[in-house]
Amino acid sequence: MSREQLAQEIIDAGRFLYGRGWSPATSSNYSTRLSADQALLTVSGKHKGQLGPDDVLATDLDGNSLEPGKKPSAETLLHTQLYRWKAEIGAVLHTHSVNATVLSRLTPGDHLVLEDYELQKAFSGVTTHQGQVLVPIFDNDQDIARLAAKVQPWLDDNPDCVGYLIRGHGLYTWGPRMSDALRQVEAFEFLFECELKVRSIANA
């Protein structure tokens, strides 16, 4: 795919994710793989439902901007880290929903367990509701290099990881194509909503 087409995928993803309420108030950032050693990412601080072709920029996989006039998202390193981790990853989405925010704050410890949900099968590599999907939760940190350094060992130890949460902040998930990453966002959001509803009743 051309850069123009990849940029359009990001623009369309933003329109969808903003419309669902998962990228409010200029939050969130999205990317696609541009080549073996470059990514195409959203620039900082834009309305995610109104992205245009100029609102993306190319970076290397160390998170350095290749387009000096543009300011990359503060969280660029969390994207490029994933493209380095697995060659088959072609798209990364970071969203910022109410349910991801609340669930990550209310879940003590460093991970969430999803089990007995048929929709777990929407995640890459999952074929039954009977296993467990572990979603690590990292404490939020404005120092993204430090945060990335905490994420890396978890990725290295968990090659099947399908996404993670940053506490009070949001979700990272990914896939070979943008459509895969979007499917996983939908599945995570569905399951986060389920978990919160179960807790609001079961704890009562």
Residue 19 sits in the site that holds its own copies (CB under 8 A): no
Extract the tokens encoding 165: 């949460």
Closer Cβ to its own copies, 34 or 46, answer by number = 46
Among 142, 146, 153, 159, binds its own copies (CB under 8 A): 142
- From 32-40, 78-86, 152-160, 161-169, span contacting its own copies (CB under 8 A): 161-169
Extract the tokens encoding 184: 């996983």
Restricting to residues 92-131, name those near its own copies by CB under 8 A.
Answer: 96, 98-99, 101-102, 105-106, 116-119, 122, 127-130
Among 41, 112, 166, 181, binds its own copies (CB under 8 A): 166
Which x/- pattern over 74-93 shows residues binding its own copies (rule: CB under 8 A)? --------------------
Instruction: Name the residues that contact its own copies, by CB under 8 A.
Output: 24-27, 47, 96, 98-99, 101-102, 105-106, 116-119, 122, 127-130, 140, 142, 166-170, 179, 183-184, 186-187, 189-190, 193-194, 196-204
